Structure 1
Amino acid sequence: MAGAGIFSEIIEEEVYKYYAEGEWRKSSSGKSVPIINPTTRKPEYKVQACTQEEVNKVIEGAKAAQKAWARTPLWKRAELLHRAAAILKDNKGPIGECLVKEIAKPAKDAVTEVVRSGDLISYTAEEGVRILGEGKFLVSDSFPGNERTKYCLTSKIPLGVVLAIPPFNYPVNLAVSKIAPALIAGNAFVLKPPTQGAVAALHMVHCFHLTGFPKGLMSCITGKGSEIGDFLTMHPGINCISFTGGDTAIAISKKAGMIPLQMELGGKYACIILEDADLDLAASNVVKGGFSYSGQRCTAVKVVLVMETVADAVVDKVKAKVEKLTVGPPEEDCDITPVVTESSANFIESLVMDAKEKGATFCQEYRREGNLIWPLLLDHVRPDMRIAWEEPFGPVLPVIRISSVEEGIHHCNASNFGLQGSIFTRDINKAIMISDAMETGTVQINSAPARGPDHFPFQGLKESGIGSQGITNSINMMIKVKSTVINLPSPSYSLG
């Protein structure tokens, strides 16, 4: 059982506790929230259904703890983060087990997520020391009309309390990508994990707890979004929100106060394949990008825009690779595992049925058992089909045949999303020109989409996000610049 061993104190009577003031606690609500295993479609875990009053207490404690933490030397903050990373990686097994059961992530990928998260924490500690240890020195006579009568010293100070809201698909990695920058910058954090993925997140928080961070500095609140979601995001004690997810972000951005927002949302990743591309390379990356973790990634390939002259060849190559993908339970490390919820499966099916009614070519027979959907390649998709524009977040990949590069760019830019895109061509000059024309936060040339490495800038345009992520950008987003000005005597002041 994942709650055994060092994690025994985070669970009681089969319900996982929430974390506040350095302790694992049961909610005064007396209620819990079930977590459904996507594979069995039966309850697997239970977490506390926290109350608004408990949220108030957590944020009050965080604000108090943050004041002292901001005065903690940078080297000490970094030392604690390195220790947390080591404990997290030492416990990759039980945390990975939670990811398998909560979100049907293949076992090997689940362990990889935990190890990657530990590496992210350590890199953040080192990068934070570099970034935060530097300030600026300005003199007033560098601006026209001024004498050298003022010296300005700038330093970097924390914002206060950061609210971190990760998504179900990477509940550990995308939690620590927010938590580690917050902590190294001198902030406190409140983590609101997704329901699916909450138990893995609680295990991760326990690794931080075992490290010895000050009480109150870290909190993890679980519960129903309808009960505490808006209450958290609108709380006057929150000084920054870092969110990864979907449509909820639009509501958050409208309701949140005048605080920094960092949001990575959905995408409709377009992959453009030109005539001169290495078609085997393109096909391999299309399958990797479109079907890894059953397509449940913001950066998954969501539509292939291929030149008509090579479309038959590309479709044949992709089809052959898709048919070799293994399908089944995550415990067996299958390539395609159940999608996270029944409602997700129903939505994906609605897109497939719409494409069928409008004449798309099915390269495989559509097959579904519960939350498990077999990989499906759809050819001859047209712009009047929903799947040409909507994000399925599942193992279904549409192919649109185009007659020109301009047509591909137009389709990419007509989307409401703009997270990432790919170009496959041997002509680097053409690739750069297309990249410049694509309205996306990142363009991959001759590669599948990827969020990492985690220190690379990562951002979306349009409805795909606000602000930029990546370790350095996240640290900078969670600080303010403070200026101290030393006023000197006028130039006529005598030294004698």
Structure 2
Amino acid sequence: MFNELCCEDKTYRNLVGGKWMDSKTNKFIEIHSPIDGSLVGKVPSMSREEVDEVIKNSKEAQKTWRDVPVNKRAEILYKAADILDERAEEIGAVMALEIAKDIKSAVSEVTRTADYIRFTADAAKAMEGEAIPGDSFPGFKRSKISYVNRVPLGVVLAISPFNYPVNLSASKVAPAVVGGNSVLLKPPTQGSISALFLAQVFKAAGLPDGVLNTVTGKGSEIGDYIVKHTDIDFINFTGSTSVGYHISEITAMKPQLLELGGKDAAIVLEDADLEHAADNIVSGAFSYSGQRCTAVKRILVVDSVADKLVELLKDRIVKLKSGDPREEGTVIVPLIDNKAADFVMELVEDALSKGAKRVIGEKRKDNFVEAMLFDNVTLDMRIAWEEPFGPILPVIRIKNIDEAIDIANRSEYGLQSSVFTKDIDKAFYIADKLEVGTVQVNNKTERGPDHFPFLGVKSSGMGTQGIRYSIEAMTRPKAVVLNLNK
């Protein structure tokens, strides 16, 4: 079923107009595994001319797709979800090799994506229009009635990140197509093969030709061209804050949904269950080596319980299994590339030079970095503010709640925060003051359940995701006013 994706020499194709197309330029990007450097495959490096053809195809396909009833669109999503479940082990293995995600999390990402797609189909069928009587507004009579429906925006550009190449591609594709849009999927370079498998799943489920097309290539060569293209009607992007700002700047007046970086804080008060807090923080900070926007990236702990918490964290971190992500139970895995590891070590060296205490972890070999914990981190250290996207965790000691709020809010980011306390009044007080999209009480920062709203403020993003919210973001209300008489 998946053989049409690539040739024997591991050269992959793009899905264009329902067919798997070879590169016309004969230029390819080699994808090497972060685990051992082995060749995973080669994907086409598409030209601007090829991009024009793909977008034209998407635009034409959308004209027909928009008229397909929602229940028919939903049936295709249900089929796609079933196929994903059937292929979870296979696609998970590809993902583990391509992006060095531990095998358990990789397979879980695929099955979670299947659930996401099913729920998207359910949500779309449950969304209804409304009739608004005119006489509810002063000065108007019952003779006016507005019938309001949601209609698609057109061609959606979906740009997904390396760390969740299946889930964060599907979370853009499924709400867009069920809303009547066509989608141009631009996966990350590292992670593109996993995303192409997802595209094949949608094709196998019966999605009409051209409703989902894929484009692979270097962002430096075709990225700006795609996002600025006049026939792209909406941009749904997940990635770095710097790229998000760039997209926003060069696409004036083009609607978009941006999911960017974070510097999520775990605030631990003196009355917290420290064992529970330590379990959550370690899981939240170090799974997939911290390469998640919602990872716990700093701890703000009241000084009176800081020593105890640090010991509990150390005890748990030392037990984390490191190494090959294809081995069961591995948590600390190679980072996506050497550049990522270089940046992590820059933050480490800066912190140590300014007096941070290294509690555990010190080794780095190529793109592998050990899990590291730092105590006595001060606000003049880069690690207190910058997003590492790696397995390093700083502990900042605080005097009281208000200091924690102040430090948390001084960040340029505003994705999520956690608050660990047994006092519900303190939890709500802090939650009310924090400038973030979501506050987790007595739990690690994390995405989901997927029907909850997911959003960032400040440099963490723009717009709201979550299944119903995503469908609404990629459709618009359209009103038809019925005038019964004059």
Common fold: TM-score over 0.5:
yes
Q: Give the match for residue 213 of structure 1.
A: 207
Match of 1:448 in 2: 444
| Map of 1:420 onto structure 2 | 416
CA deviations 1:198-248 (Å, max 9, x no partner) are 000001110111112111111011011111111111111111111111021
Deviation at 1:446, TM superposition (A): 0.2
Aligned to 1:494: none
Question: Is 1:350–2:353 an aligned residue pair?
Answer: no
AA at the equivalent of 2:249: K
Contact 1:236 1:257 in 2 (8 A): no
Task: Look up the match of 1:106.
Answer: 102
Contact 2:371 2:392 in 1 (8 A): yes
* Residue 386 of structure 2 corresponds to residue 390 of structure 1: yes
Question: Which among 396, 400, 407 is matched to residue 396 of structure 2?
Answer: 400
Residue 214 of structure 1: SS of its match in structure 2?
coil
CA distance in 2: counterparts of 1:275 and 1:285, whole angstroms: 16
Letter in 1 for 2:67: R
Retained in 1: the 8 A contact 2:17–2:57? yes
| Cα distance in 2 between the residues matched to 1:259 and 1:365 | 45
The offset of 1:485, in angstroms, is: 1.1
Q: Does 1:487 align with 2:474?
A: no
Instruction: Name the counterpart of 1:324.
Output: 319
* Cα offsets for 1:340-364 (capped at 9, x unmatched): 0110000000000001111110012
Give the match for residue 43 of structure 1: 39
Q: Is the 8 A contact 1:234 1:257 kept in 2?
A: no
Q: CA deviation at 1:196?
A: 0.9
Distance 1:404 1:213 in 2: 55
In structure 1, distance between residues paired with 2:304 and 2:10: 59
Cα distance in structure 2, aligned partners of 1:393 and 1:427 = 32
Inter-partner Cα distance in structure 2 for 1:260 and 1:200: 27
1:408: Cα distance to partner?
0.6
Displacement after TM superposition at 1:257 (Å): 4.2
What is the deviation of 1:77? 0.5
Q: Which amino acid aligns with 2:200?
A: H
Residues 258-337 of structure 1: matches in 2 within 5 Å?
Answer: 258-333=253-328, 334-337=330-333
Q: What's the TM-score once normalised by structure 1's chain length?
A: 0.96
- Structure 1 segment 134-213 matched on structure 2, within 5 A: 134-213=128-207
> Once the two structures are superposed, what CA deviation does each residue of 1:262-304 show, in whole Å capped at 9, x if it has no partner?
1110000011000000010011111011101100000000000
TM-aligned CA deviation for residue 42 of structure 1: 4.0
Retained in 2: the 8 A contact 1:459–1:469?
yes
Alpha-carbon spacing, 1:365–1:109, altered in 2? closer, same or farther (3 Å) = closer
Q: Is the 8 A contact 1:380 1:400 kept in 2?
A: yes
Tell me how far apart the structure 2 counterparts of residues 242 and 26 of structure 1 sit (CA, whole Å).
26
**Hey, what does 1:33 align to over in structure 2?**
29
Q: Which amino acid aligns with 1:58?
A: V
SS at match of 1:157: strand
Separation of aligned partners in 1, 2:361 and 2:91: 36
Structure-2 residue corresponding to 1:17: 13
Equivalent residue letter for 1:350 = E
CA distance in 2, matches of 1:390, 1:119: 33
Q: Which runs of 5+ in 1 are unaligned?
A: 1-5, 491-496
Per-residue deviation, residues 378-411 of structure 1 (Å, max 9, x unmatched)? 0000000000000010000000000111111101
1:374 aligns with 2:370: yes
Q: Is the 8 A contact 1:362 1:376 kept in 2?
A: yes
Question: What is the alpha-carbon distance in structure 1 between the residues aligned to residue 420 and residue 247 of structure 2?
Answer: 36
Work out the CA distance in 1 between the residues paired with 2:224 and 2:215. 13
SS in 2 for 1:406: helix
Please tell me whether residue 251 in structure 1 is matched to residue 258 in structure 2. Answer: no
Residue of structure 2 equivalent to 1:222: 216
Structure 1 letter corresponding to 2:248? S
| Deviations, residues 117-169 of structure 1 (Å, cap 9, x unaligned) | 011000000101111xx111122222112223322111111000111011110
**Which whole-Å CA distance do the structure 2 matches of 1:403 and 1:489 have between them?**
69
- Aligned amino acid, residue 339 of structure 2: S
Partner of 1:464 in structure 2?
A: 460
Question: Would you say the 8 A contact 1:345–1:373 is kept in 2?
Answer: yes
Structure 2: which amino acid aligns with 1:254?
Answer: E
Alignment pair present for 1:474 and 2:470: yes
Which stretches of structure 1, 4 residues or longer, exceed 4 Å deviation after superposition? none
- The two structures, once aligned, show a CA RMSD in angstroms of 0.9
Shift of 1:488: 2.5
Q: Contact (CA 8 Å) 1:362, 1:378: kept in 2 or not?
A: yes
CA distance in 2, matches of 1:78, 1:65: 17
CA distance in 2, matches of 1:81, 1:44: 29
Q: Distance in 2 between matches of 1:114 and 1:139?
A: 45
Quick one: distance in 2 between partners of 1:19 and 1:354? 45
Q: Give deviations 1:24-75, integer Å, cap 9, x for gaps.
A: 0112110100112111134322101111111111111111111111111111
**Aligned residue identity for 2:245:** I
Q: Could you tell me which amino acid in structure 1 is paired with residue 466 of structure 2?
A: G
Deviates more, 1:269-278 or 1:359-368: 359-368
Q: Tell which deviates more after alignment, 137-146 or 414-423.
A: 137-146
The Cα shift of 1:367 comes to 0.4
One-letter amino acid of the counterpart of residue 348, structure 1: V
Identical positions, percent: 48
The whole-number CA distance in structure 2 between the counterparts of 1:338 and 1:11 is 26
Q: Distance in 1 between matches of 2:152 and 2:342?
A: 43
Contact 2:10–2:40 (CA under 8 A) maintained in structure 1:
no
- Which amino acid is 1:218 matched to? L
Is the Cα contact below 8 Å between 1:27 and 1:51 reproduced in 2? no
| Letter matched to residue 177 of structure 2 | L
Provide the rounded CA distance (Å) in 2 between the counterparts of 1:129 and 1:53. Answer: 38
Aligned to 1:129: 125
